[in-house]
Amino acid sequence: MKKALIVINPNSTQSLTDGIAAALEPLHSFGIPIRCLTLAEGPPGIETQQQADLTIAPMLARAKREEPNALGYVIACFSDPGLYALRDGTALPVLGIQEAAMMTAMTLGQAVGVIAIKPASITRHMRAFGAMGVSGRIAGERALGLSVTALTGDGTLDAMIATGRALRDEDGAEVLIMGCAGMARYRDPLEQALGIPVVEPCQAAASMALGRIALNQSHKITGATDA
């Protein structure tokens, strides 16, 4: 099998993985294969820290199996479960979609707004932004109030526009992050409706990962003379 960037959706919903794959199509022109996988052992959707943490063991096992054919990894859940654990185990580039989305958003606007699916996710995301040391750039995070699996319903775009408008008008956000994998098809209509940039986190992470692969940029340097 040709080596590829491995994008792991740590939940078990194949339609979400399909949505991620579609989001990454514009990056095929870079000439590096991208393979999107569904973690069979994951829950249908990840809504709690407990669900997120319990995907780590099977995700690490899956990544290990893929390693011979891997050029790098993207963990495609906005909670970045196992991001540092996977980095511990490989020298290949590993990007998490929350981290990459934030790094991308910070170059598109000063005040960043985040659209979450569920209110309970906000506290988890805030801890992660704190760990990144970027809390000061968060204008606000607001939840749609829809379940992850219900994200295909008709009212989703309307809910996203309403939530994004509140982030923009009440919280002062100048750029939005979609705080969930699987929302990619709403990026363009959301930007058009609100007039501010919208970051789709899988796109952000995959494009950063491809750059790392091309540049041979790793978080782990082996064989150093003075480590």
| Distance in angstroms (rounded) separating the CA atoms of residues 115 and 179 | 5
In single-letter form, the type of residue at position 214 comes to A
Q: How far is the CB of 9 from a second copy (least distance, A)?
A: 18
Q: How far is the CB of 106 from a second copy (least distance, A)?
A: 6
Closest CB to a second copy among 13 and 200?
Answer: 200
| Start-to-end CA span in the chain (Å) | 34
Q: How far is the CB of 32 from a second copy (least distance, A)?
A: 8
Closest CB to a second copy among 14 and 183?
Answer: 183
Closest CB to a second copy among 49 and 149?
Answer: 49
Closest CB to a second copy among 149 and 207?
Answer: 207
Q: How far is the CB of 37 from a second copy (least distance, A)?
A: 19
- Strand bridging mode 34-38 / 198-199: unpaired
In single-letter form, the type of residue at position 171 comes to D
Closest CB to a second copy among 14 and 120?
Answer: 120
Closest CB to a second copy among 14 and 159?
Answer: 159
Q: How far is the CB of 38 from a second copy (least distance, A)?
A: 20
Kindly state the tokens that stand for 195. Answer: 């007039």
Q: How far is the CB of 126 from a second copy (least distance, A)?
A: 5
Q: How far is the CB of 156 from a second copy (least distance, A)?
A: 18
The full 3-state SS of the chain, as one line of letters, equals CCCEEEEEECCCCHHHHHHHHHHCHHHHHHCCCEEEEECCCCCCCCCCHHHHHHCHHHHHHHHHHHHHHEEEEEECCCCCCCHHHHHHHCCCCEEEHHHHHHHHHCCCCCCEEEEECCHHHHHHHHHHHHHHCCHHHEEEEEECCCCHHHHHCCCHHHHHHHHHHHHHHCCCCCEEEECCCCCHHHHHHHHHHHCCCEECHHHHHHHHHHHHHHHCCCCCCCCCCCC
Closest CB to a second copy among 1 and 221?
Answer: 221
